[in-house]
Amino acid sequence: MTATASGREAPAAVQRHLGWALVVIAAAQLMVVLDGTITNIALPSIQSDLDVSASTLAWIVNSYALAFGGLLLLGGRAGDLFGRRRMFRVGIVVFTVASLLGGFATNEVTLIGARILQGIGAAIAAPTALSLITTNFPEGAPRNKAMGVYAAMAGLGSTVGLLLGGVLTDYLDWRWVFFVNIPIGIAVLAGTKLLAEGKPEHGRLDVPGAITGTGGLIALVYGITRGGEHSWSDGLTLASFAVAAVLLSVFLVLQTRSAHPMMPLRLFRDRGRSGAYVTMLFLGAGMFATFYFLTLYLQQILGYSPVETGLAYLPFTVGMMVSAGLGSRLISRYSPRAIAGPGLLIGALGMLWFARLEHDSSYATHLAPAMFVTALGLGASFVPMTLGAVRGVLPEDSGIASALLNTAQQIGGALGLAGLTTVAMTTADDLVPDASGTFYRAMATGDAALLDRAGQALTEGYAAAYLVAAGLFVAGLIITVTAVRGDKPDATAPLPAAHLG
């Protein structure tokens, strides 16, 4: 009887254990993804409270993206070498401590430093969380279910971040968009005792590759930002580009010579896979630009509250859900190029719609439709780009091939936002000198006429940035048509997990 009872109880106990393990991993993924959007809603409040300049404001977004994307591959490798649960805990601790520092930040420098630290924590936690699924869940239905929940957290996190960021900023303070991570992080850490460690692999970390690659990207983004704010012939601007060129060149040399490269260059030998990575750079730029400029426009120009801003993004969420679901169904019947091509075209049309922004554009007839159309394009492109990146790779390279796509999205977003912010600032400042500073000074003094002029200048800047973003989508479309594979997928081959960026 005992044996029978225990025989019946053991599967239930295992199921409960796996269920709680999935909750821990999903909560960690939700926290990391949530931080990519929750801060966007708070940007105007942060800018006003800490007196952040327009050019520096973008670094609050980019510092996280660069650290996350630049160190993502290294974080995943660290989990393989030193233990996935151990490194998962390290990532959560770093992310949680960084969130505490960000919440108590008293100036832009400390806030950006905290965001870099958050990105480092996310770069360790996110890939090890995905690896822990394979370690803790048996193949078949349990692992597939866990992967589905993990992927769902990526989409849910973006939506929850927009809504929660609005609520916290409106009813508490912008600092709570960082403080909210602390109880989640503590709960996740407590739950890690439910996770199996897994057997560490042999090898070593490509630390020189991580330093040169990430450092080169930071120098490049800084050069783009400074060039727009000061001058393209400015000494520090030119020095930044020179440093970026040297570091990125050294990075490529190291990747060719290292026995354990962070970014195996063999993955780029396939033209279709390389095309998928480059296209994802453009997709990341478009997505970052949509959230960043639209948030500033809604709150600064139209006067929306943070909560209203979060709710205003619902058409974007609906569009992403509709097109991503449709793309997932079509991907077994059509080539990645046949799905992503129209998606990029639709995305470009959405950006052109945004490029017609005016000082008093209607939400119902302009902003909501433009959001929906842009989201349709983005959602339709992510899934086929994921398939294009992982098809044909060796089994041992499938993880790194998928992770590279996430890295491409983050890096593309950072580079794109730096360039588009420069376009927006330059356009606005040509109409009204120091348009962003003038806007806030006019608000403080109650000068309605100056406020209106500065607001119109900022709107023109946002519209110009969206026009360039439309061009980036068209460039992605050209690359997709000419480089990404056009053959139909093997119906018997398993599909990759949804894009987890």
Model confidence pLDDT, tens digit, residues 99-151: 999 999 999 999 999 999 999 999 898 888 877 877 777 776 776 677 667 76
pLDDT tens per residue, range 22-52: 888 888 888 887 887 888 888 889 998 998 8
pLDDT tens per residue, range 44-80: 899 989 988 877 888 898 889 888 888 888 888 888 7
Which amino acid does the sequence have at 403? Answer: A
**Dist. CA 277–CA 470, nearest whole Å:** 18
**Dist. CA 459–CA 355, nearest whole Å:** 10
CATH second-level architecture of 266-490? Up-down Bundle (1.20)
**Dist. CA 382–CA 386, nearest whole Å:** 6
The confidence band for 12, taking pLDDT boundaries of 50, 70 and 90, is: low
Geometric angle at alpha carbon 67, from 88 and 299, rounded to 5° = 110
CATH superfamily of 14-195: MFS general substrate transporter like domains (1.20.1250.20)
**Dist. CA 29–CA 131, nearest whole Å:** 12
**Dist. CA 140–CA 95, nearest whole Å:** 32
Residue 460 pLDDT greater than 50, yes or no: yes
Residue 354 pLDDT greater than 90, yes or no: yes
Higher pLDDT, 188 or 197: 188
The confidence band for 501, taking pLDDT boundaries of 50, 70 and 90, is: very low
Residue 197 pLDDT greater than 80, yes or no: no
Which amino acid does the sequence have at 140? Answer: G
For residue 492, the 8-state DSSP code is T
Residue 401 in contact with residue 276, Cβ under 8 Å?
Answer: no
Tell me what pLDDT residue 427 has.
93
Per-residue pLDDT, averaged over 380-384, amounts to 79
- For residue 447, the SS3 value is coil
Tell me what pLDDT residue 114 has.
95
Higher pLDDT, 469 or 4: 469
Tell me what pLDDT residue 83 has.
83
Tell me what pLDDT residue 493 has.
45
For residue 367, the 8-state DSSP code is I
Average of per-residue pLDDT values in the chain: 83
Per-residue pLDDT, averaged over 421-447, amounts to 88
Residue 169 in contact with residue 232, Cβ under 8 Å?
Answer: no
Tell me what pLDDT residue 146 has.
74
Tell me what pLDDT residue 95 has.
95
Q: How many CA atoms lie within 13 A of 159 on its CB side?
A: 14
Residue 247 in contact with residue 238, Cβ under 8 Å?
Answer: no
Name residue, tokens 């020095």: 239
Please provide the DSSP assignment of 94-150 as one string.
HHHHHHHHHHT--SHHHHHHHHHHHHHHHHHHHHHHHHHHHHHS-TTHHHHHHHHHH
Tell me what pLDDT residue 461 has.
94
The model carries a pTM of 0.84
